[in-house]
Amino acid sequence: MYFFATLLFGFIGLALSLLIRLQLYQPNSGTALLDWGPGEPGEFYNSIVTMHGAVMVLFFASPLSFGFANYMVPLQIGAKDMAFPRLNAFSFWAFLLGGLVAASGFLLGGAADVGWTFYSPLTSLEYSPGNGVNLAGAGLVLLVMSVTASTINFIVTILNHRKP
């Protein structure tokens, strides 16, 4: 399931990258698609750049490795399954929900527009008055919970379920 969800986020990141390239193809052309949303015209472009970076690094590349590990660790050590299957399921659903919460700012009228590094001064209310930064932060908290749960599951599985 990790593979399919990360592929979904990968396609979302690819679509956002195509929108970035579309704008860079003809700068200041007033592309109607990229001027959509509340606020000034450049804010939506910044939101696309922010979400592209966050999706590709945090919700595609990292979880792809966890999906690969979920498949390979039991095979490598001879275990039937991971040590805690329910913790594994929680980890997956927390990751998926975190990605959806982080991206939901687009639908709620104010996605995060602070760059994919979430640079601190730009995340203050003065520069980002909407809920997009808060939603992205909540999505990252869910992602960290997912990564922590997966890591605990991997460690326990490797230490306790290894075949002699």
In this predicted model, what pLDDT tens digit does every residue of 66-118 receive, in sequence order?
999 999 999 999 999 999 999 999 999 999 999 999 888 877 777 777 777 77
Q: What's the pTM value of the predicted model, to 2 decimals?
A: 0.84
Q: SS3 for 111? A: strand
Structural domain count of the chain: 1
Count of H-run helices and E-run strands, the chain:
5, 0
Domain residues for 36?
Answer: 2-160
The torsion angles phi and psi of 93, rounded to 5 degrees, stand at -70, -35
